[in-house]
């Protein structure tokens, strides 16, 4: 089926949104933890965490336009820090529920039964049940003029992962803790690594790092 820009413009808004949210493929599922000036912990599910670089270590977080209340954004701008917590199979239903529109004085931790955890020296709350905990400080932000979204950059200050995940080469074996991906705003999937290939070189067939056929 061929879909043109004209077709997209004529498509019902919710149908178009669902198409565009699944068009780019699977995306990471993460819970963003933050805290208000009043000390209320906030938790919100995001599928827009982006790797921005490793030196310095940066992650990006894309926010929709600030036309409605965005507690996560407000908390980050006010307190300068936030956490990124991977969603895995045991908690994906609770994670999804954080998208509900609770009042400002209500904590999604309390409403969903997820446990907040604080690591000494870092003021924003982590999710106790998550296998990957990342603490970030606000670095900068870039307004996207074409649609009013905001790309916010966080500098990674602290990482805690389950021992079962970290491989000798630095890779995280996400499947060992059933870390999930999202398809659109309501689909949750368990990705499976089919293979890992060695660094690509011109004129050489890729070798498998997973199956012992690595090329020199």
Quickly list DSSP for 10-62. Answer: HS-HHHHHHHHHHHT--EE-EEEEEE-TT--EEEEEES-EEEEEETTEEEEEE
Cα angle vertex 149, ends 126, 74, to 5°?
45
Q: What pLDDT score was predicted for residue 210?
A: 76
Identify the CA nearest to 127 among candidates 41, 61, 27.
41
pLDDT tens digits along 27-59: 999 999 999 999 999 999 999 999 999 999 999
**Coil, strand or helix: which one is 176?**
helix
pLDDT tens digits along 169-184: 898 999 999 999 999 8
Quickly list DSSP for 141-170. Answer: EEEETTTTEEEEEEEEEEEEE-TTTB-TTS
Neighbouring C-beta atoms of residue 122, cutoff 10 Å = 16
Q: Which two tokens stand for residue 138?
A: 């606000």
Quickly list DSSP for 91-152. Answer: GHHHHHHTTS---TTS-HHHHH-PPEE--TT--SPEETT-SEEEEEEEEEEEEETTTTEEEE
141: Cβ contacts below 8 Å, ≥ 6 apart = 150, 151, 152, 153
Per domain, the residue ranges of the chain are: 26-189
Q: Which two tokens stand for residue 197?
A: 């290939």
What does DSSP assign to residue 205? P
Q: Which two tokens stand for residue 166?
A: 């970290």
pLDDT tens digits along 51-68: 999 999 999 999 999 787
pLDDT band at residue 211 using 50, 70 and 90 as cut-offs: low
CATH number of 26-189: 2.30.110.10
Distances in Å between the Cα of 58 and the Cα atoms of 101, 127, 136, 137 are 29, 20, 8, 10
Q: What pLDDT score was predicted for residue 216?
A: 45
pLDDT tens digits along 96-147: 999 999 999 999 999 999 999 999 889 999 999 999 999 999 999 999 999 9
pLDDT band at residue 212 using 50, 70 and 90 as cut-offs: low
């Amino acid at each position: 089926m061929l879909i043109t820009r004209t077709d997209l413009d004529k498509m019902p808004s919710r149908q178009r949104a669902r198409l565009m949210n699944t068009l780019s493929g699977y995306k990471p599922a993460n819970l963003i933890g933050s805290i208000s000036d009043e000390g209320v912990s906030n938790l919100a599910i995001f599928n827009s965490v982006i790797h921005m670089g490793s030196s310095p270590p940066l992650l990006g977080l894309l926010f929709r336009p600030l036309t409605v209340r965005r507690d996560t954004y407000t908390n980050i701008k006010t307190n300068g820090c936030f956490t990124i917590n991977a969603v895995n199979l045991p908690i994906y239903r609770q994670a999804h529920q954080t998208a509900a529109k609770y009042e400002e004085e209500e904590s999604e931790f309390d409403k969903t039964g997820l446990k907040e955890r604080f690591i000494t020296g870092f003021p924003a709350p982590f999710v106790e049940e998550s296998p990957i905990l990342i603490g970030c400080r606000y670095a900068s932000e870039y307004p996207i003029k074409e649609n009013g979204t905001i790309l916010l950059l966080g500098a990674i200050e602290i990482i805690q992962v389950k021992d079962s995940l970290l491989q000798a080469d630095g890779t995280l074996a996400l499947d060992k803790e059933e870390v999930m991906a999202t398809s659109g705003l309501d689909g949750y999937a368990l990705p499976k690594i089919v293979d890992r290939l060695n660094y690509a070189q011109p004129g050489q067939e890729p070798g498998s790092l997973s199956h012992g056929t690595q090329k020199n």
